[in-house]
Amino acid sequence: MFYRNALVKHLLDIVPGRRRLGPYRFLPIFFCIGGVMEWVMINVRIGRETFYDVYRRKRSEREYQQKMADGLIVLDPPAAK
């Protein structure tokens, strides 16, 4: 158990800026990770869709369901033949 703690402490000490920035020295790393994740979500297609394609479709479906529940959209009954 102490070996793991020493290993983690050593890995954290490798990151420069300890004296000047303290714990905030990790912010640029996480900022870059967030930017890469955003780029992947926008540009990488899994199948035929990206994350934002799915998000927009689901949002549109929720808005449509809400309008139906509010009575703003009324489906016409099929005409009798």
DSSP secondary structure string for all residues of 28-71? HHHHHHHHHHHHHHHH--BTTB-HHHHHHHHHHHHHHHHHHHHT
Give the pLDDT confidence of 9-53 residue by residue, as tens digits: 888 888 888 888 888 889 999 999 999 999 999 999 988 899 889
Q: Note the pTM of the prediction, 2 decimals.
A: 0.59
Confidence of residue 3 (pLDDT cuts 50, 70, 90): confident
Domain residue spans in the chain? Answer: 21-72
Token duo for residue 72: 């703003």
Average pLDDT over residues 56-69: 92
How far CA 26 is from CA of 12, 15, 36, 37, 65, in Å, comes to: 9, 8, 16, 17, 43
